[in-house]
Amino acid sequence: MAKAASYALPTRRAHVMGILNVTPDSFSDGGRFSAADVALEHAKSMIAEGADLLDVGAESTRPGSTPVELDEEWARLAPILEPVIDLGIPVSIDTYKAEIARRAGSAGAALVNDVWGLQKDPAMADTVAELGLPVVMMHNRDEADAGIDILADIDRFFEISMSLADRAGIPRDKQILDPGFGFGKTIDQNFIILNRLETLKKHGLPILAGASRKRMIGAVLGVETDERLFGSMAVHITAIQNGASIIRVHDVRPHADCVRMLEATRLERNPA
């Protein structure tokens, strides 16, 4: 078995996180990669295309999705997790369940990605601290509310998440914030967040942006999910320019190329 790769937060260019869904009902690619052999080949392809890390999830978090019991989630993950980890790239576990995070961390996962920002499972913060892993704390809401100040709501949510992380003993240099594009937000609120993403840097933590193929793109362009690549790239380029350190994407190669070009522009030279 290969030694599991650890994850170091970005210090120079933005990182590209490739999405590997092993679910039958993901909004974008549900069922396509649920077979272990197919999922493994897709993971290899994303690595070859330039992914810096992979985010493996076994429960859809799309609006209206059916919650998955812990044993079912692990049954989906178990056949694929260690083979993907053995590929030698840092692997993130996309879960809000502490026990799933614990099992994945024990198997060699390098990062925990919690779509409820440590606030859904009371054991999650302590579990992440015990594992010694970095954690993505994403802002979420049960439902969208057009009447709220979404940036203020995100700030309040993050203060709670950071407090939970601090009390559990998760170092600040292992905490990452994700504003949660598409999660409990109106279309307009998503664009407010994107345009003012830099304001979240006041918390002093890296920012992850994940808008790949989401409804905010379809609403503007009038295209179906599988036709949202160019819109996804536009959103993620904007996010990087506004302060994002990690972008979470389905289509790795085009985004990896964008990141390299942005870095060359920033440096005013070829970074290779």
Per-position b or e across 196-215, b if 16+ CB within 10 A of its CB: ebeebeebebbbbbbbbbbb
Please enumerate in sequence order all residues whose Cβ is within 8 A of that of 131, keeping only pairs 6 or more positions apart, or say none: 101, 102, 105, 106, 112
Active site residues: 214, 248
What is the Cα–Cα distance from 49 to 39, expressed in whole angstroms? 15
